[in-house]
Every structure is written in C-alpha cells, then in structure tokens.
C-alpha cells in the first residue's frame, strides 16, 4: 500500500487505487499523512477543512469521514502493511511505516544526495526523488489556507531538489542537462530569482549567453510590472558575472574550465581577468578593461522566420558602413508598433557582426513598456561591465559613466543596438564616440532630435504588402496551408493591416487550431469587436503594443486620436480632424504632427492623414472604456446618485 501526496491524493494497493470519496475526505487523509504517527486534534482538522466559519455539525462530518477512511483502508488490506487509523480522545492518529508515503521517500532521497561532493551519485538519487511527483502537491484537497501553505512548502522542497540536480549536472560539466532541468521550472516560477539566476549561469556555460541575458531582462520586467521591485542580489550578481565573464573570455561562446566561472564550495564565483585592477586610464590605453581580447556579444537571438526587408537592411548597411565622414555612424529604425523594427535591427546586427570584431552591445531602453523607461546610468553600467570595467570602478553618475564609455570604445570597432527608445535625450548619453563604432536605435518615434543634432540616418519600416504578408504566414504555418486558400491569406494580411506582429499572432491562433482553415480565422477577424482580442498571444499582441504608444501621449493628443478613430474610412485632413475633436485648427495641426511622429497616424501627402484600422479599433475601445468609466462615476449600487 502506497500513499501519494506529491500530486493527486491517492492510496494504491497491488490491486489498484482505492476510492477515497469527496474532497473533504481526501483532505482529512492528507492532513493525517502530513503528520504521520502523530496525533492530530479534531479542532485542527475542522479548521483546515473549512475556510469560512465551520458548520455546527462539523465534528460529526469529520467523524464520518474518518470512519469511512478507516473502512476503506481496512478493505485495502491496511492491517497487512501495519497501518492503523486510531482514535485518541478528540484526536486521530494514522500509524504506518513512513516509507509508504511518497513525500517521505522524496525527502530521504534528497537528503542522501550530495550534488557538490558526489555529483555522479547525486544525479540518480535526485532524478528518482523528482520522479515521485505526479503533479501539483495535494491535488484534490480543499482550498483552505492550511492546505495551500502545505502545498507551497512541498513545492519549495521540489524546486530545491530541481536546483540541486542542476548543480550536480553542472559539477559534471553537463551544462545542457542543467539548463534543460531548470528551464521548465523557471517557466512555471518566473519570479523565483535564485532559480532564474541558476538558469542564466547554466545557459551561459552552454554558450547561449544571449538567452541567459534575455532571461534576466524578462525577469526584471516581470518583477517591475507585478511586484514593483528591482532584481535582487542573486539575480543581479548572476547578470554581472556573465557580463564580466564575457569580457574576460573575449566573447567566446562557451565558458570552459579555468575561465572566469569556476565552482567553489558549490557557489558560482567570478574569477577576475588579469587586468581587473586596472584603472580607467589603463583600460583606455589597452582598449579594454579586461585584456585586449575582450569582445562582448550581447545581441539577442536572431529573429525567427525573418523574411524580406531587403530595402531596410540595405539602408542600414549604407548608413552604418559609411566611413567618409570620420564620425561614428548612427541610424534610427522607426515605424509603428508591431511593424518589426527590433527584428530588422537585430537581423542586420547578426548579419554584420563580423564587421565589429570588438563586440556588439544591446540594450532595451523600455521606452514603450509597462514600467519606467531605462535610465541611461543603468544601461551604461551594463555596458561598462560587459566591456570589462570592474564594478567598483563604474561611475555613479550618468555623465561620468558616459564619458568613461566613450573613452573605452574610442579605438574599437563596436556595434551598439539601442532598442525601444522613447526620446533622443534618452539615447544621447549612450552613443559611442569612436569613428569605428556604429549605433542602431529603434523607436516608435522618429527621433527627429537625433537626426538634427547627431546626423542620424532615418530608416523607415513600413507594413508588409500582400505578398510579403502571405510569405510570413507561409513561413509560420507551412506554405501548403497558405497555398490551400491564397484569397483567405490575402484577406488575413489586410485584416492585420500588414503588421508582422498581428500576422504572427494570427499564425499562433491557427497553429493552436490545426483543423482551422485560413478562411475561418479571416471570418472571425471580420468582427471588429473581436479582432484585437484574436490578434493577441499571451503577453504579446497589437492591443498591448498600441496601449504602450497611447500611454506616452499627452491627454490632448490622446483625445485627438480618439476623435480620429470615429472617421468613417480612416482618411482625413486637418479641417476634418479639428471638427471631430472640437479643437482649433492650429492645435489640431500640432497634434496631428505629434501623432505622425509617433506613427499613430500617417501623413500620406500634404494635409492628407490616414489612421490604420487596428489603431482605430483600439482607440474606439479605449474611448468606450472611458465613457463607461465616466457614466459609472458617483453612482451607488442602485445606479442613482449617491
């Protein structure tokens, strides 16, 4: 007879699983199994079974469940296994060999494993322990705080075992296995910083440094959005260790034994490079802070299924490889939300990484994100660490850090990619000064200030045409599925306004529904009330992207955009816009220019503006929500003024 707590509550005998009855009966058994061979007071059972005030007959209910459990266990041959459910006054005792409980066997196996001292022995022990889990602990019990706390404690023990197994694999040099083990746990526990830090280190050791850094930035965003906090010491330490190790290893894809990572007493310990104690002046002389071979590679992974954009890629090549001016070339990739600016910039960066042998730096400036935009001092600190500057030598002020950054890279061939910038002022402190460096900036704003003061070359990214959009769908879904109904594919491109983000979301819908034809999704998207919702996939979608753009508008410009959304066909001039918004012509013209700069409207010709269908739908939804909010203010539950 075996008792299971690590998943659904169950009792299994040689002839099969016993029928335990309703949730409260399973919960009584679970509480007794959590305290085996210990008397459990009746009052504790009652408090655990009812989240609210227990009924008057609660004692009778519990006694009935205990009686039925005793009969069920007896029918399963409990006496043969030395199992007895006894009554002691107003308490109950489940007497049994504890090895029959999966949670007890799990704890014994974990205790025997020594991942640092004997990793080869620890791996099978920990794998056996984790193999006892069949799902979330205590599944099938009532949802009261005591059971939630007990389930949480068991889950913490499981995660500790997962991390121990990853350490054992790491000690054996099996970093791929360590990363695979940690990955699924990190996906399910995205705010557990110690787990994410361990995954980052494992990924780095497999040569996947861009993935490791991407996990840091993703977790930082989640911590900011959900908890309003910054990364803690463990996560930040892992990030800085990877940046320093990158510099010390000269940008190699792996971190072999004897490099800047080594294991000491079970902890990851950064081993500084030969010039760790060098002064900033020394670093300037050598060109690096960690030795002449340092070359950070911080680019994200290349964009998946990247198609076309040859004109934009060519324009970036022209802008960023022009050495005739003797200046550090700068390009601004601008376009509306969801058009693929980042993908275009990152694709170009990977294609031309060889032209920048001293490294590639990347930073998300968070100009159009949920939280605050990235402060220049924060980005400069990351850059300086990646370039080998010891943490204690990173200046505290943005101005001093910017000066040191420019000094360090003055003689380097370095590429800097600054993604998702909000304003020119945010970008300027991050620009390298050396003539052999190049910078790509992406933004939803045109960043005219950089064009005016820093001779930035604008590169506009537009929506996809019908053929390009259909090709993207084919790359995502398979060309055969698109070829079945090319007319439906063309309609999908039109309904998505040719935006790659919307098309990828549509492809995600179809991938999840392999029996759907393209025409079925097109029919669903024709319903304007559902279109934005359908063009979303988890945390990604057009509505979320547009919301970030609109959040950066002034109240006047947001109201103007809302008024433009009422246009019948999305085409209008300044006079029509003024009439719709109720603004004077000068105020309207200024607002239209700001909306055009943010790519929320397009100026097709002099005084001819268009607003895309998806932007119209979003602005109408926002207008409706505001109207609902206004109509509901100041009213009591009955709807009257209160």
Per-residue model confidence (pLDDT) at position 272: 30
Per-residue model confidence (pLDDT) at position 552: 86
CA distance 516 to 637: 44
CB 327 within 8 A of CB 437: no
Q: Nearest to residue 5, comparing CAs of 110, 126, 157, 114?
A: 157
450 Cβ neighbours under 8 A, 6+ residues apart:
330, 332, 424, 427, 428, 441, 456
CA distances from 66 to 34, 72, 148, 297, 393 (A): 15, 10, 22, 63, 67
Half-sphere exposure of 481 (CA within 13 A, CB side): 20
CB 561 within 8 A of CB 619: yes
Query: C-alpha angle 217/221/225, rounded to 5°?
Result: 175
Per-residue model confidence (pLDDT) at position 283: 37
CA distance 523 to 500: 19
Per-residue model confidence (pLDDT) at position 164: 95
**E strand or H helix at 609, and its extent?**
strand 608-610
Per-residue model confidence (pLDDT) at position 549: 87
Backbone angles phi, psi at 17, to 5 degrees: -90, 135
Per-residue model confidence (pLDDT) at position 468: 92
Note the pLDDT tens digit of each residue in 361-393: 999 999 987 778 899 999 999 999 999 888 888
Per-residue model confidence (pLDDT) at position 538: 61
CB 489 within 8 A of CB 475: no
Note the pLDDT tens digit of each residue in 47-103: 999 878 889 999 999 999 999 999 999 999 999 999 999 999 999 999 999 999 999
Residue 329's CB is within 10 A of a number of other CB atoms, namely 21
Per-residue model confidence (pLDDT) at position 567: 81
Backbone angles phi, psi at 282, to 5 degrees: -60, -40
Residue 352, helix vs strand vs coil: coil
Per-residue model confidence (pLDDT) at position 322: 74
Q: Nearest to residue 329, comparing CAs of 406, 424, 434?
A: 434
Spell out, as residue ranges, where the chain has pLDDT lower than 70: 247-294, 324-325, 537-540, 623-642
Residue 36, helix vs strand vs coil: coil
Tokens standing for residue 575: 């006079």
DSSP string, 572-599: E-HHHHHHHHT--HHHHHHHHHHHHHTT
**E strand or H helix at 285, and its extent?**
helix 280-286
CA distance 312 to 333: 9
Half-sphere exposure of 494 (CA within 13 A, CB side): 10
Rounded to a whole number of angstroms, the distance between the first and last alpha carbons of the chain is 64
Per-residue model confidence (pLDDT) at position 20: 93
CA distance 593 to 603: 8
Query: C-alpha angle 503/484/480, rounded to 5°?
Result: 75
Residue 128's CB is within 10 A of a number of other CB atoms, namely 15
Q: How many helices (H) and strands (E) does the chain have?
A: 28, 18
CB 398 within 8 A of CB 377: yes
CB 374 within 8 A of CB 365: yes
State whether the Cα torsion 590-594-597-601 is positive or negative: negative
**E strand or H helix at 268, and its extent?**
strand 267-270
567-591 in b/e burial notation, b at 16+ Cβ within 10 A? Answer: beebebebebbbebbebeeeebbeb
CB 77 within 8 A of CB 13: yes
Per-residue model confidence (pLDDT) at position 537: 67
Per-residue model confidence (pLDDT) at position 626: 54
CA distance 591 to 329: 31
Tokens standing for residue 486: 């090319």
Whole-model pTM over 0.85:
no
């Amino acid at each position: 007879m075996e008792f299971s707590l690590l998943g659904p509550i169950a009792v299994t005998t040689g002839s099969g699983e016993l029928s335990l009855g309703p949730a409260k009966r399973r919960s009584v058994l679970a509480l007794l199994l959590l305290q085996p061979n210990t008397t459990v007071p009746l009052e504790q059972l009652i408090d655990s079974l009812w989240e609210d005030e227990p009924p008057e007959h609660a004692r009778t209910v519990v006694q009935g469940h205990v009686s039925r459990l005793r009969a069920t266990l007896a029918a399963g041959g409990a006496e043969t296994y030395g199992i007895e459910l006894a009554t002691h006054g107003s308490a109950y005792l489940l007497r049994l060999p504890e090895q029959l409980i999966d949670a007890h066997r799990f704890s014994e196996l974990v205790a025997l494993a020594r991942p640092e001292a004997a990793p080869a022995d620890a791996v099978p022990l920990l794998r056996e322990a984790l193999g006892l889990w069949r799902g979330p602990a205590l599944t099938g019990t009532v949802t009261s705080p005591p059971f939630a706390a007990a389930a949480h404690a068991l889950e913490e023990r499981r995660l500790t075992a997962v991390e121990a197994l990853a350490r054992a694999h790491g000690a054996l040099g099996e970093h791929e296995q360590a990363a695979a083990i940690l990955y699924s746990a990190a996906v399910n526990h995205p705010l557990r910083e110690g787990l994410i830090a361990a995954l980052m280190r494992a990924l780095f050791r497999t040569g996947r440094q861009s993935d490791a850094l991407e996990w840091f930035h993703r977790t930082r965003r989640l911590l900011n959005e959900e908890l309003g906090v910054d990364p803690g010491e463990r996560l930040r330490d892992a990030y800085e260790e990877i940046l320093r190790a990158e510099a010390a290893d000269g940008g190699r894809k792996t971190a072999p034994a004897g490099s800047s990572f080594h294991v000491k007493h079970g902890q990851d310990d950064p081993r500084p490079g030969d010039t760790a104690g060098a002064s900033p002046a020394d670093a300037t002389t050598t060109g690096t802070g960690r030795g002449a071979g340092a070359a950070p590679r911080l680019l994200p992974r290349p964009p998946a299924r990247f198609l076309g954009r040859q004109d934009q890629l060519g324009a970036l090549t022209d802008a960023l490889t022009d050495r005739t001016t003797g200046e550090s070339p700068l390009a601004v990739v601008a376009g509306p939300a969801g058009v693929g600016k980042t993908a275009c910039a990152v694709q170009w960066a990977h294609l031309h990484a060889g032209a920048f042998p001293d490294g590639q730096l990347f930073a998300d400036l968070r100009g159009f994100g949920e939280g605050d935009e990235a402060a220049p001092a924060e980005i400069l600190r990351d850059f300086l660490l990646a370039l080998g500057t010891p943490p204690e030598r990173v200046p505290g002020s943005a101005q001093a850090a910017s000066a040191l950054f420019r000094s360090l890279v003055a003689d380097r061939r370095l590429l800097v990619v600054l993604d998702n910038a909000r304003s020119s002022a945010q970008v300027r402190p991050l620009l390298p000064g050396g003539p052999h460096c190049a910078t790509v900036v992406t933004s939803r704003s045109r960043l005219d200030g950089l064009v005016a003061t820093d001779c930035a070359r604008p590169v506009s990214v537009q929506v996809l045409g019908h053929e390009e959009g259909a090709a993207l769908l084919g790359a995502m879904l398979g060309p055969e599925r698109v070829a079945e109904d090319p007319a439906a594919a063309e309609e999908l491109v039109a309904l998505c306004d040719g935006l790659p983000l919307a098309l990828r979301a549509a492809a995600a819908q179809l991938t999840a529904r392999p029996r759907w034809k393209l025409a079925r999704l097109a029919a669903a998207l024709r319903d304007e009330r559902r279109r934005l919702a359908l063009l979303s996939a988890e945390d990604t979608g057009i509505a979320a992207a547009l919301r970030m753009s609109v959040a950066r508008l002034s109240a006047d410009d947001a109201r103007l955009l809302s008024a433009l959304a009422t246009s019948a066909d999305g085409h209008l001039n300044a006079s029509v816009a003024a009439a719709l918004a109720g603004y004077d012509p000068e105020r309207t013209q200024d607002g239209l220019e700001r909306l055009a700069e943010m790519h929320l409207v397009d100026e097709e010709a002099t005084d001819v503006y268009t607003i895309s269908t998806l932007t119209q739908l979003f602005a109408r939804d926002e207008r409706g929500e505001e109207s609902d909010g206004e109509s509901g203010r100041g009213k009591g539950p009955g709807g009257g003024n209160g």
